[in-house]
Amino acid sequence: MANRDQVLSYVRMNGPVNPSMVKRALGSDTTILGAILSELASNNLVKITHTKMGGSPFYYVQGQEPKLESIQQYLGEKDRRTILLLKNERVLMDRSQDPLIRVSLRNTKDFAQPFQKEHQGRNELFWKYYLATDEEVAGFQERLQKKVTPVQTVAPVIEEKPVVRQEPISKPLPPVQPELRVSQPVHVVEVEDTFIQPVQAGEEKPAKKEVPKQETLVPKKKVEESTFWNELESYFKKNKVRVMEQKIIRKNSEYDLVVEFPSAVGTLTYFCKAKKKKRISDGDLSTFFFQASGRKLPALYLTTGELTKKAKELLATELKSITVKQL
């Protein structure tokens, strides 16, 4: 049976590790190993992560922080995207982020470290990647300050623009247009006389050819309008929904729409995702949330399928702004 010193030595050599990993190496009971690791953590001999594999956290010693990147694979999908963003940017201002990212930053304590700094006369909350250096943080603050200063120089530039615009205004003013108008009637009559008869004679034959082309396009559109789209049209008609914009993402299975429908407070405009899928995951909802945020419109998700357990939990906590309707 493994003892306390053996477990500590293994963590120092291989951390971050969880009890299952220690069991495979030292061949002891998982419960006992978990108790030993907890005791080492309470005595500050090892550190414990918030990130878990299943229900078990990871244990490591000081100096092994860079190796924690290997356990990011055990984060949820939305948290992995957030940490990847933070890793690339090194520092993020909390107030500038979408609500979903702000929640995710607070949940990934192993990799997102908060700090406060005064900016534009107010105390702001920032997040830095846990491996970001002081130089990288200072560089971010310098760039943030530079973004503010150019705003002060915009006003004088705008004042000079009206002077430039006055020059081209005078160019089209010479009395050239009246001369053109006088000459046009004379030439137009002659041109119409010479071309009317050939056009009429030539148009009669191709006109008959164009009619069948238009008729053949109609059935093609009806073919593309799949059963799923028919379901959507039926739902829209029943609920008095008008489709303002339509984009086919996947034929017969996925559409991005902008829709309008009446309400007690007036006409409402929504960004709508219509998706034919048996199971809607938390990743589907997260991706749609970012799309709707980019459009700056409330979100409506129409689907033929059911939400997974994680998707329902996410919808009830972090994505309450999304309305989901099952067709």
Who contacts 237 (Cβ-Cβ below 8 Å, separation ≥6)?
none
d(CA 101, CA 99): 6
Angle formed at CA 307 by CA 243 and CA 84, multiple of 5 degrees: 90
Q: In the block, which residue shows the tokens 């959507």?
A: 232
pTM (predicted TM-score): 0.47
d(CA 247, CA 256): 5
Sign of the dihedral defined by the CA atoms of residues 279, 284, 285, 291, in that order? negative
Dump pLDDT digits (tens) for 257-268: 999 988 888 889
Dump pLDDT digits (tens) for 157-180: 444 445 445 444 445 555 544 444
Who contacts 304 (Cβ-Cβ below 8 Å, separation ≥6)?
228, 231, 275, 276, 277, 278, 326, 327
* Domains of the chain in sequence order: 4-70 (1.10.10.10), 75-151 (1.10.10.10), 174-217 (no CATH), 228-326 (3.40.1350.10)
pLDDT score, position 172: 53
Does residue 209 or residue 66 have the better pLDDT?
66
